[in-house]
Amino acid sequence: MATQQIPPDQILLVQHARERPLRANPEEALKWCNRAKFAMAETPGSTDPIPNREEVRAVWEYLGRTIDVSTIVQVFEKMRIVPHA
C-alpha cells in the first residue's frame, strides 16, 4: 500500500468516527460493521485482508463510504504509532 498525503479533515473524520460513536457504543459499531460487510462484498476492487477489518469497515460505512478504505487503514496505523491526547 503506497503512503499518500492524507488531508487533515479526513484524518479528523476517521479519528472522530473511531473514537466517539463507534468505540463508545459497541452495538452501534457492530451495526455499521455488518452493513459494511455487505457493501464491501458488492464493491469491485475491495481488498482483503484488511488490518483492523471490523473497525475499518465500520468507520468506512459510518462515514458514508466517502473515504477510501486504504486511507482509513493509514489513519489507523498513524494513530497506533503516534497516540494523541
pTM value?
A: 0.71
Query: Does 69 reside within a domain?
Result: yes
Residue 82 one-letter amino acid: V
Predicted pLDDT of residue 44: 58
Work out the average pLDDT over 11-23. Answer: 87
Query: Does 3 reside within a domain?
Result: no
Q: Give the number of C-alpha atoms closer than 13 A to the C-alpha of residue 77, restricted to the C-beta side.
A: 12
The rounded mean pLDDT for the chain is: 79
Q: Count how many domains the chain has.
A: 1
Residue 30 belongs to domain spanning: 8-81
- The pLDDT tens digits of the residues spanning 64-83 come to 999 998 899 999 888 877 65
User: Virtual CA dihedral for 61, 70, 56, 85, nearest 10 degrees?
Assistant: -110
